[in-house]
Amino acid sequence: MSAIDHYINAIMKQGAAEAWEDGSADTEAHHLLLALASHEGTAAHAVLSSVGLDRQAIRTALDREFEHSLSMAGVSLAAYDLPKPSRDPERRPGVGASARLALERGYATATGKKDLRPAHLLLGVLNTGIGTVPRALALAGVDRGDLMARAQRTLATERW
Amino acid sequence: MPADEIPVAKDPADALAAAAALRRLADQIEDAAVEQAMRAGWSWPAVAEALGVTRQAVHKKHSKRLIAAGVTLRRRQ
């Protein structure tokens, strides 16, 4: 397997672990973003770090987006003091629709399999104005367009 | 909150995100509540009836994680 295959496998595995931790049935695009931010040594990681987005900052932004979206329906998360439910250790989250779209968009930004690098996957996750990721970034005050431009620039200069 | 005070999201993006978030919150509440009930000695048929789903559905969705957590499960009321 090539380096990018190993990387994609690692991101999918980490994304599934994030989904499991969330109690989510599927790995979604925001779980992939958490995974991209967790793997150091890539241009994707450097781009996220350059605007202060480490894994914890993204987790915080996602939690805020959840609370904000609930508030749009007049529901306050603070009203629910939920005990943390047990998880099935054997459960393997599937790949959700938003993660599939992010991967497809990422692959589409590369000129071929040999060109595919971590920053392409980051672009795939960022390249939508709809859904949890752009909403969470906006609430965190992150300019998604600027982030995409940074990722594009690294593709011209960085090999990984 | 009275019905006329519930904010109505005017932007479709906000309304759709609210629907997705409510679905996720409902799942979280269900996971926590089913575990709480089973730990308190409720049976599968009683939990299913309370949720308005079949016993098979609730068993399929929750039994593995509760067994893994060591919860003693009652089959009947």
- Binned average pLDDT, 10 residues per bin, chain A of 160 residues: 94 97 94 98 97 97 96 90 88 96 97 93 97 97 97 93
Q: What is the reported pLDDT for B49? A: 97
Q: What is the pLDDT of residue A131?
A: 95
Which residue in A20, A88, A144 has the most chain B C-beta atoms within 10 A of its own C-beta, making it the best mutation to test that interface? A88
Q: What share of chain A is helix, strand, coil (3-state, %, to 5)?
A: 65, 0, 35
- Could you say which of A65, A70, A86 has the minimum Cβ distance to residue B65? A86
In eight-state DSSP terms, residue A140 is T
> Which pLDDT score is estimated for B5?
60
- Which of B27, B48, B64, B66 lies closest to A23 in space, CA to CA? B27
What is the per-residue pLDDT for A130? Answer: 96
pLDDT confidence of residue B4 = 55
Q: At a CB cut-off of 8 Å and minimum separation 6, what does A97 contact?
A: A26, A28
ipTM of the complex: 0.88
Q: Model confidence at B75, in pLDDT bands (50, 70, 90)?
A: low
- Phi and psi at B74, nearest 5°, equal -100, 130
Instruction: Return the closest-CA partner of residue A71 out of B32, B1, B30, B33.
Output: B1
Residue B15 CB neighbours (<10 A):
14
pTM: 0.91
- Partners of A78 on chain B (C-beta within 8 Å) are none
pLDDT at B77: 53
Residues of chain A with C-beta less than 8 angstroms from the C-beta of B73: none
Q: Let me know if A145 is exposed, middle or buried by CB neighbors in 10 A (0-12, 13-18, 19+).
A: exposed
* Cβ pair A69:B5 closer than 8 A: no
Angle at which helices A118-126 and A3-22 cross, to 10°: 40
Determine the average pLDDT of the residues in B64-73.
90
Q: Label residue B76 by pLDDT band (50, 70, 90).
A: low
Question: In this structure, is the dihedral angle defined by the CA atoms of residues A74, A76, A77 and A81, taken in order, positive or negative?
Answer: negative
Tens of pLDDT, residues B16-54 = 999 999 999 999 999 999 999 999 999 999 999 999 999
